[in-house]
Structure 1
């Protein structure tokens, strides 16, 4: 995204400044920024989910991170601020950012909306309230509740995942073939881990006897497993209106980029219902009848947003060009006409992390 902004600066011949901040040393981010800041780390929960290294030596945090970012943004006369993680912390103080003339992009326009997006059970309930096709889910907080749900819904293919979480953490398909007398090979599940399958009995045992769950209860969802095609949709939106979007689905290692109207028929009312604002990503999956159903909204850009640039539409440039006042408000109908369907294979790159400290 920062590379796209650097290209936008050249294309528009407009000398705006690109600022990046993070609580850890992230050279793959900072090398594309004109100016960088290291954010204060306020709690033990601030551990980096990507790096297993010590951060640079930081000064002791005396103010919350959102306030540190606000003060830096005011000094640099920032006009647009995309929060990334911890959007709720910033959203709770939207008014002070607005007073400072900063267009705040957290993924939604209220703390309540962001909380409903993060909580997949609340998300499902709100979708039902707005008649939006959504994957059904039943919450369980202990083994007895799980077993009761399995007794009621176990006649169909099922899966489990945490109430909150990203990157498919904790998602597993439940395999009951052993119980039904069909061939079952538990080692197959351990060997083909990308299938994300586990026997129902083994999941119950692992969940029941987990010391981690005992010390820190993890609310989970039991859900029907949808066997249809899964889509990821990158969306530029403003106050619940879709300004631009590109759909993609994956087969093997290949991403298929384009614009699928049947998917967007679910996404457009979904974005409106949650008042999404900024650049977000949505996941949908088709059921056995081909009906696309909402799985979740991620209130920040997806890791694969750059794939969409190969379609001829750079969503980062579309959004920030508008919010910076460089272009007119995007119209979805116009954007659709610009999308050229294509296939993309991702390539891994690396950067060297230099040892340094903060004075």
Structure 2
């Protein structure tokens, strides 16, 4: 995205500065920014741990102060968007267009909590995958008794990158359970024997120390889509759809998928650049799985279609271009196939 902004900047009649900040040393990010800042680090289980006393101000305040100092006009947050959203008035007062993925803490909270998210989708008559929450083994077993006549899967209420997602061997046409070694050997298949999942969950020290709310869901057999969306106050300004077969990403604009996405974005008042996941059921009906309130890692794939969503969004928010119209953007999309490759970057030792 920063590389796209640098290209936009090189063609812009109005000069602007690209600033990036992160809590870690990320040269692959910083090399594309004109100025960089290292944010304060917080002490949590999955981050770099530092003494709490060394953190003098909250991260959002650090970012706001540096944004004001540099006369920032547009600020796109990352995974901690809800912290910034809680301080929207302060950013607005500073003349900063804040992009967190939505425009209220409540909306971001319901997007993050997949169970609450699905309930809200039902309320708004948006096709969504069914889900039943469980917080312990007894609840899981009770739900399985009711629903194990069909293919099922599990995933955490809060999570990203398919963390904690597993397909269970329920509702199979034959009585054979999944191979007990299969989920250890072919981990990308994300399959696990139901009895073994229950045993692992029931005996997990992690669950005992830090309970993880989970969802039991019907496993949808149809095509899964990722949709990258530029939106403003619930209106879709631009979007590109993509689906994956093997290692190949298929980029384009699928009308039947967008018929679900457009009212979804409106219902949650999405604002900024977000990503949506959908999956078709056995009848081919596209159902929403989730919204991610920040850009997806694969947003760069969409540039191969001739549409750069980063440039479209920021060109508008910076006042360089007119407000995008979805109908006009659709005409520019040239369907294509993309295969990603791995790259690397050297991390220099800090002095």
TM-score class, shorter-chain normalisation, is over 0.9
Deviates further, 178-187 or 216-225: 178-187
Deviates further, 348-357 or 198-207: 348-357
Answer yes or no: is the 8 Å Cα contact 1:162–1:170 preserved in 2. yes
Once residues 214 and 99 of structure 2 are traced to their aligned partners in structure 1, the CA distance between those partners, rounded to angstroms, is: 29
Once residues 124 and 3 of structure 1 are traced to their aligned partners in structure 2, the CA distance between those partners, rounded to angstroms, is: 35
Once residues 58 and 207 of structure 1 are traced to their aligned partners in structure 2, the CA distance between those partners, rounded to angstroms, is: 32
| Aligned twin of 1:260 | 254
Equivalenced residues, count:
351
- After the TM superposition, which residues 340-355 of structure 1 pair with which residues of structure 2 at under 5 Å, given as runs? 340-355=334-349
Unpaired stretches in structure 2, ≥5 consecutive residues: none
- For residue 42 of structure 1, report the CA deviation from its aligned partner: 3.0
- After the TM superposition, which residues 232-311 of structure 1 pair with which residues of structure 2 at under 5 Å, given as runs? 232-311=226-305
- After the TM superposition, which residues 68-79 of structure 1 pair with which residues of structure 2 at under 5 Å, given as runs? 68-79=62-73
Answer yes or no: is the 8 Å Cα contact 1:9–1:15 preserved in 2. yes
Q: How big is each residue's C-alpha offset from its partner over 1:194-216, in whole Å with a ceiling of 9 and x where there is no partner?
A: 11000110000000000000000
Deviates further, 280-289 or 176-185: 176-185
- For residue 109 of structure 1, report the CA deviation from its aligned partner: 0.3
| Aligned twin of 1:12 | 12
Once residues 14 and 152 of structure 1 are traced to their aligned partners in structure 2, the CA distance between those partners, rounded to angstroms, is: 61
- RMSD over equivalenced CA pairs, Å: 1.8
Answer yes or no: is the 8 Å Cα contact 2:153–2:218 preserved in 1. yes
Unpaired stretches in structure 1, ≥5 consecutive residues: 49-53
Once residues 100 and 143 of structure 1 are traced to their aligned partners in structure 2, the CA distance between those partners, rounded to angstroms, is: 49
Once residues 80 and 136 of structure 2 are traced to their aligned partners in structure 1, the CA distance between those partners, rounded to angstroms, is: 28
Answer yes or no: is the 8 Å Cα contact 2:152–2:170 preserved in 1. no
- After the TM superposition, which residues 26-105 of structure 1 pair with which residues of structure 2 at under 5 Å, given as runs? 26-45=26-45, 47=47, 60-105=54-99
| Aligned twin of 2:315 | 321
Once residues 215 and 280 of structure 2 are traced to their aligned partners in structure 1, the CA distance between those partners, rounded to angstroms, is: 19
Once residues 332 and 173 of structure 2 are traced to their aligned partners in structure 1, the CA distance between those partners, rounded to angstroms, is: 51
SS in 1 for 2:161: coil
Q: How big is each residue's C-alpha offset from its partner over 1:240-290, in whole Å with a ceiling of 9 and x where there is no partner?
A: 000000000000000000000000000000000000000000000000000
| Aligned twin of 1:51 | none
Once residues 45 and 60 of structure 2 are traced to their aligned partners in structure 1, the CA distance between those partners, rounded to angstroms, is: 15
Answering whether residue 117 of structure 2 is matched by residue 120 of structure 1, we say: no
| Aligned twin of 2:224 | 230
Once residues 69 and 299 of structure 2 are traced to their aligned partners in structure 1, the CA distance between those partners, rounded to angstroms, is: 30
- After the TM superposition, which residues 108-187 of structure 1 pair with which residues of structure 2 at under 5 Å, given as runs? 108-176=102-170, 181-182=175-176, 184-187=178-181
SS in 2 for 1:262: helix
- For residue 64 of structure 1, report the CA deviation from its aligned partner: 0.5
